[in-house]
Amino acid sequence: MTETLSTENHINQKTDAELVAVAKRDSRAFGVLYERYYDRIFVFVYKRVETEELAADLSANVFLTAMTHLNKYEDRGFPFSSWLYRIAINEVNQFYRKNKRAIRVVSIDRTNVGYMTEEAGSKAELELALQGVEAVLSTLDEPSLALVEMRFFDQKSFKEIGEILGISEGNAKIKTYRVLEKLKMKLSPKS
């Protein structure tokens, strides 16, 4: 029993890269990665679908896909979680493509909208933005909405957003600020 606990502690202390290397040889080691990241992936998915049951199903699919394709994973200096988030985005997008009647969910809270409007340079319009931001966000296409969600609601760096979306850090930043400009124009009072 003591030997088993010692082995479990040793495995839990490994880095993601070490765990992935072990899991590529022995799928049982993938369980540690699952335990390490399930809650984060679940919350990420839940914010986009807002039903626990659907979020749990999609999250399970994320980890099944990750385990099935683990041999294709390459460590490029980003957290393993970036790869999981990319898979999660694909799962959510696939769900909405298959279920055209499902309404795309954007979970918004006051803090995140404040952060977004500060970065967009429109602090004075925070209250107006709070009233109209949900409606405006619903007009964005899926790639633009994903940028806004990851940057402002999930607090991801441009570097991590780039890795998740398979684009450069600079491109992630440029695209995000272009979306912010569109949002700013839509939120500005018409004169």
What pLDDT digit, counting tens, does each position of 58-99 carry? Answer: 999 999 999 999 999 988 888 899 999 999 999 998 998 898
For residues 38-49, average pLDDT: 91
Q: Decide: 19 and 12 in contact? Cβ < 8 Å.
A: no
Task: Give the start-to-end residue ranges of the domains of the chain.
Answer: 2-94, 110-187
Q: Decide: 188 and 180 in contact? Cβ < 8 Å.
A: no
Tell me the H-state helices in the chain.
2-12, 16-25, 30-49, 52-68, 80-98, 110-120, 126-137, 142-148, 158-165, 169-187
- CATH architecture observed for domain 2-94: Orthogonal Bundle (1.10)
For residues 20-49, average pLDDT: 92
What pLDDT digit, counting tens, does each position of 168-179 carry? Answer: 999 999 999 999
- CATH number for the region 110-187 comes to 1.10.10
Please tell me the predicted confidence (pLDDT) of residue 185: 81
Q: With bands split at pLDDT 50, 70 and 90, how would you rate the model's confidence at 126?
A: low
The model carries a pTM of 0.71
Q: With bands split at pLDDT 50, 70 and 90, how would you rate the model's confidence at 116?
A: low
Please tell me the predicted confidence (pLDDT) of residue 3: 42
Q: Decide: 122 and 129 in contact? Cβ < 8 Å.
A: yes
For residues 129-156, average pLDDT: 78
The mean of the pLDDT values for the chain is: 81
